[in-house]
Amino acid sequence: MNKFTKFNLASLIIGFSFLYIPIILLVIFSFNESRLVTVWAGFSTKWYTELFNNQSIKDATIVTAQVAFISSTIATILGTIAGIVITRFGRFKGRTLFSGMIYAPMVIPEVIIGLSLLLTFVALAINRGILTVTLAHITFSMCYVAVVVQSRMSSYDDSITEAALDLGCTPLKTFLVITLPIIMPAVISGWLLSFTLSLDDLVIASFTSGPGATTLPMKIYSMVRLGVTPEINAVSTILVGLVALGVVSAALINKYQISKQI
């Protein structure tokens, strides 16, 4: 049985403090009475009240929720297909190009992706707005879904699908009855990942969105540029809370499913 050594314990404590202290401070100061973010003047929820009365933040939240929901759903469908194609379809014409297009968006700087998509929408004469942001988010999210699904696909035994096909099950039915249930946890985490990626994205949304389609990160960014206020801390706290809730419940679901399988 391994035990923590001094070095391991120290690096874990320092590492996790570095990762979490900024977020904890951000949350604490969202409940600050004072407008100054760094001087504690007593507990107050007034910034949250102010937030709920802020129409432009509400509008941006609605836009962001719409974009995130639609884009993550379509990205999950496309990404799942792509993940299966990479793991199960063997060699086909353009395979290298295909896998290249799956991995590249994850490392290529966002400014390049944003600029290239914007210029494409202009070239195709598509008006910029919610639609274009959604298309952009589908494109980069599907690559993350593909990678998540692909790692699940490559770790399970293919012989059951072959057995089903040999016994005369149609490919579509085999997929729906056998493959999909097996990779479901990966598909769900792919959806959650796409949802948060879309929720977070500032750079690509700034390039591809148009008037009337300001997303929440764009709104937060313009507020930050004007100065640090507890209101930004409040909206950030809500977002962090939602994400933490989502990730923890996803992890619990995953654990429950694994324990059920055993």
Partner 1 sequence: MTRNNTKLSERIFNGKNIVIAIPFIWLLILFLFPFLIVLKISFAEYIIAIPPFSSFFLWDDTFWPTIQASLYNYKFILEDSLYITAYLSSLKVAIISTMITLVIGYAIAYSIAKAPTRWRGILLMLVILPFWTSFLIRVYAWIGILKTEGLLNLFLLSTGIIDQPLTIMNTNLAVYIGIVYSYLPFMILPIYANIEKLDVSLIEAASDLGCRPFKAFWSITIPLSMPGILAGCFLVFIPAVGEFVIPDLLGGTETLMIGKVLWLEFFANRDWPLASAVAVILLALLILPIMYYQKMQEKTLT
Q: Which 109-148 residues touch partner 1, going by CB under 8 A?
A: 109-113, 115-117, 119-120, 122-123, 135-136, 138-139, 142, 146
Report, in Å, the least distance between residue 187 CB and partner 1: 14
Residues 22-61: x where in contact with partner 1 by CB under 8 A, - otherwise, as a string? xx-xx--x-------xx-----------------------
Q: Which CB atom, from 109 or from 211, has the smaller least distance to partner 1?
A: 109
Dmax (CA) for the chain in angstroms is 72
Report, in Å, the least distance between residue 216 CB and partner 1: 9
Report, in Å, the least distance between residue 35 CB and partner 1: 13
Q: Which stretch binds partner 1 (CB under 8 A): 45-53, 65-73, 101-109, 156-164?
A: 101-109
Determine the Cα–Cα distance for residues 57 and 77; give it in Å rounded to an integer: 30
Structural tokens at position 125: 């004469």
Does an H or E element contain 127, and which? Answer: none
Q: Which stretch binds partner 1 (CB under 8 A): 44-52, 65-73, 103-111, 178-186?
A: 103-111
* Of positions 2, 53, 159, 259, contacts partner 1 by CB under 8 A: 2
Report, in Å, the least distance between residue 253 CB and partner 1: 13
> In one letter, which amino acid is 21?
I
Q: Among residues 244, 71, 240, which one has the least CA distance to residue 143? A: 71
Q: Which CB atom, from 196 or from 214, has the smaller least distance to partner 1?
A: 196
In a 13 Å sphere around the CA of 79, the CA atoms on its Cβ side amount to: 36
> In one letter, which amino acid is 217?
P
Integer angstrom CA distances of residue 4 from 35, 86, 123: 43, 40, 58
Cβ atoms of 250 and 185 closer than 8 Å = no
Helix runs in 124-229, H state only: 130-153, 159-166, 171-174, 180-200, 203-208, 216-226
* Of positions 76, 150, 161, 214, contacts partner 1 by CB under 8 A: 150
Q: Site residues for partner 1, window 180-219 (CB under 8 A)?
A: 193, 196, 199-200, 202-203, 206-207, 217
Under rule CB under 8 A, residue 247 binds partner 1: yes
